Structure 1
Amino acid sequence: MWSPLTGPDGDEMTGLANQFSQDNPQGIRVQHVAQPQYLEKLNTAAAGGALPDMTVIRTYDMPEMAVRNVLKPMSDEALSIIGAGSGEDFPPEAWQAGEFRGQRYMIPLDVHPLVLYYNRDMFQQAGITMPTDRPMTREEFDAAVQALNKNGVAGVAIGTGFGGATLFQTLVRQNGGTLVNEEGTEATYNSEEGVQALTYLRDLKQANTPQVSGTGDPEVKVFQQQRAAMVMHGPWHLSDMQKLPFVGYAQLPQFGPEFSVWGNSHQLTLATDDPAKQAAAACWIGWLSQNSVQWAKAGQVPARQSAREGGQLESVMPPVALFAAQAEAVEFLPQVPGIEAALWAQAFGPAVDAVLLGQQQDVGAALDSAAQKSNQLLQQNAQRYQQ
């Protein structure tokens, strides 16, 4: 099994693979191989006839790999062995993302939503209580930011790049908007909800961390250096955050009428159509899925509801338990080849950056121009992949 898990999460996966190899009664051995450029490696391996039996894959990478016949649909026998049924134990959006053109290609392993990291000492000194049974309201969040934004400390650290773009997507959906139509053929993020989202995010950044920008998640570093009281970012920072005694963990605030959080999912998929290898891989997938509460040690939220709510998560990985409810609030894009890049990397991503950095004052015009670019790319992709 290949995967893009190249950090501490890769070590956790190797440990689980070794445990299954040792314990399973069928004598199946799983070799986990982390691949830094896994999509490139998969394409090269496919051309050379040297694909692995299966791979861990990020949700939006599946359609293009399926169209290229790198990934194979799961057989009825494999699905029966995995024992996931009709997906009743998974968030509906994460489960639905595993289907493409009428066939199931993936089983969700986890969901990784954004996390609200906050400085517990600063909150206590300011007399602010972080709710643990619900998200903060926008009013509570705004009041906390204002109270904490003083003496050279920012109330919240807002960055550009990945951080800004994921918060933009979160806010659009919380406002009741969407990023793209249901068919995945037309961008919709340049709506009134989109303009409101980016305007609020720009104002928040300008009032707190106007100078923080660039790659490498500098907004996270600002928080870790206690120069900001809060930051909203991915759960892959958990291993570093846990070394800092002042860090608290919570769900993202609910800024709008809908509760939605940006996130992605690692899913398990097959690259062989050999029935025996599919069956062996299915034994491992089923075991890993059933034991996914252990995967939470990698900072990921188990996709299975039974793993999230079975009572073990609090002892296995307490920080994850504090934001695990967000797994049900992550919305996924339609499974259309190339959709994420067409919307984000090549369109609204640069537009969001331009607005947050003060290079573009007209928020509506920035999003309209980006949406036009997205629509061109979506049309090109439809022709390329013959949808």
Structure 2
Amino acid sequence: MKRTLIGFSLLAASALATSASAQTTITFWDLLGGGDGARMQQIVDGFNKSQTAYKVQRTTLAWGVPYYTKVRTSSAVGQGPDVAILHLSRLSGWADAKILRPIAPAELSGVGMKPSGFFPKLWSASNYKGQNYAIPLDTHPMVLYYNKDLLAKAGLMGADGMPKPINSIATFEAAMAAIKKTGALPVSFETGPNAYMPWRLWLALIGQQGGSIIENNKVTYGKLGASTLATISDWGKKGYVGKNVDYPTSVAQFMNGKAAFMLNGAWEVPTLVDGAKSGKIKFGYGVMPVPKLYATQNTWADSHAFVIPNNVGKPIAGEKLKGALQFLAYANKNAMIWASGGLVPANLGVANSAAYKAMKPNSDYAAVAAQNVTYDPTGWYSGAAGPLEAASAKYFPAAMNGQLSVERAMSLFEADVNKLLVAAPKP
């Protein structure tokens, strides 16, 4: 009897070892910290528990240039991850440099994904020269936060409990002027040295006026570039936004009830929601899409997306590819977890669900923002923490703070842009 039990135990142990060794590991790199990192870990853990064939092994690297440099150089020598997160604003440059592996329609349909299941603009940004290179997870747009109490004090709340309509640059500036008369700060906004928010607002407003930044490797914003920077720089001169305000201070100004509006990314929604639940935020608030100040309602946005690096000499195949695609499909279908971070889910099934529509204030801005996203222009120099944004950050905040004239800021910026347009892609 003892021998039988021992034999059975050995067989069971052997079976478990065989099962474990048969499990395929999918390496996944990202740059997600804080709340985003915790939510992504929840998705990874959920996938790993949902089946036994694959295990996603997640590695998080430092945000921005360090992350993108590591992914790019590792993939070039066949040591990159099986799956990685990429900002869609960087996709064109990476696809051109053949850093990414295309994802075929049959591979998508094989795990239940199809183009019509995503917001059209997000899916379009995932494609380059006729091929799909990414699966969008979200879009994180610039939105307009508002303090109901301060707006009411300025006479800017309607009888319906919503802010009075802002439908032109004139009505927005009139609202800021009315708020300033109450002693409150009209808009909390990042304007400190090397700030990216001025670029994002500038890009959005040029888009609202029907303009573009760069096309066919040439600067195309023309006079709109200077006139738009002049408009937002005037806000600094008139005291509508603070001068030399760093990012944490810009958030604190709104969260502490000092500012009536805040122009910022949707990623600050959890800070607002958690603050209200804990009692730290003591005013009524709301979040809306960036208003239609000109001809359209364009807003700056970027998106996190999953990509498959084109590891040189070691292309993904077989069970690794199958597992990677199943993970991407799982993450997309379970994007409600991700949506709690304020980011708009790319998956229409999630975005149109009753559960998401009940998620406030997220669903108040989601659809309009996602339908009007404006990404950075295509090119190797574009994207999150890329050279184009970095060039703007040297000069646009200085114009808003009165340290450079608008004309000088635009001249210096354009000189940097022209250097980028003739430079070879970075290795």
Normalised to the residue count of structure 1, the TM-score between the two structures is 0.88
SS in 1 for 2:374: coil
Residue by residue over 1:228-283, the C-alpha shift from the partner in whole angstroms, topping out at 9 and shown as x without a partner, is 21110012222222212423211112111111000100011113522321221111
How has the CA–CA distance of structure 1 residues 5 and 126 changed in structure 2, closer, same or farther, with 3 Å as cutoff?
A: same
The aligned residue for residue 210 of structure 2 is 176
1:94 maps onto 2:147 in alignment: no
On the 8 A contact 2:76/2:99 being kept in 1, the answer is no
Q: What CA RMSD, in Å, does the superposition of the two structures yield over aligned residues?
A: 2.6
Structure-1 separation of matches of 2:79 and 2:412? 42
Residue by residue over 1:47-86, the C-alpha shift from the partner in whole angstroms, topping out at 9 and shown as x without a partner, is 664322101111133344445554322245422324332x
Amino acid at match of 1:319: P
Percent identical pairs in the alignment equals 27
The aligned residue for residue 332 of structure 1 is 375
How has the CA–CA distance of structure 1 residues 257 and 18 changed in structure 2, closer, same or farther, with 3 Å as cutoff?
A: same
Structure with the larger strand share: 2
How has the CA–CA distance of structure 1 residues 180 and 52 changed in structure 2, closer, same or farther, with 3 Å as cutoff?
A: same
How has the CA–CA distance of structure 1 residues 136 and 309 changed in structure 2, closer, same or farther, with 3 Å as cutoff?
A: farther
Residue number among 132, 141, 154 corresponding to 2:185 in the alignment: 154
1:13 maps onto 2:34 in alignment: no
SS in 2 for 1:293: helix
Structure-2 separation of matches of 1:202 and 1:103? 40
The answer to which of 261-270 and 93-102 deviates more is 93-102
Structure-1 separation of matches of 2:242 and 2:139? 31
Amino acid at match of 1:345: A
Structure-2 separation of matches of 1:364 and 1:175? 20
1:343 maps onto 2:388 in alignment: yes
Structure-2 separation of matches of 1:134 and 1:78? 48
Larger-gyration structure (1/2): 2
Residue number among 255, 267, 286 corresponding to 1:224 in the alignment: 255
Report how far residue 11 of structure 1 moved: 0.6
Structure-1 separation of matches of 2:76 and 2:400? 42
Q: Which runs of 5+ in 1 are unaligned?
A: none
On the 8 A contact 2:243/2:401 being kept in 1, the answer is no
The aligned residue for residue 292 of structure 1 is 335
Structure-2 separation of matches of 1:282 and 1:135? 44
How has the CA–CA distance of structure 1 residues 132 and 327 changed in structure 2, closer, same or farther, with 3 Å as cutoff?
A: farther
Structure-2 separation of matches of 1:111 and 1:137? 23
Structure-2 separation of matches of 1:344 and 1:2? 23
Q: Which runs of 5+ in 2 are unaligned?
A: 1-27, 276-280, 310-314
On the 8 A contact 1:90/1:304 being kept in 2, the answer is yes
Residue number among 200, 204, 207 corresponding to 1:166 in the alignment: 200
Residue number among 301, 312, 320 corresponding to 2:362 in the alignment: 320
Amino acid at match of 2:166: M
The aligned residue for residue 344 of structure 2 is 301
Number of aligned positions between the proteins: 376
The aligned residue for residue 114 of structure 1 is 142
SS in 2 for 1:56: strand
Normalised to the residue count of structure 2, the TM-score between the two structures is 0.80
Amino acid at match of 1:143: A
SS in 1 for 2:57: coil
SS in 2 for 1:88: helix
The answer to which of 229-238 and 367-376 deviates more is 367-376
On the 8 A contact 1:42/1:70 being kept in 2, the answer is no
How has the CA–CA distance of structure 1 residues 211 and 312 changed in structure 2, closer, same or farther, with 3 Å as cutoff?
A: closer
The aligned residue for residue 397 of structure 2 is 353
On the 8 A contact 1:135/1:251 being kept in 2, the answer is no
The answer to which of 209-218 and 294-303 deviates more is 209-218
On the 8 A contact 1:342/1:378 being kept in 2, the answer is no
On the 8 A contact 1:113/1:262 being kept in 2, the answer is yes
Report how far residue 327 of structure 1 moved: 0.7
The aligned residue for residue 187 of structure 1 is 219
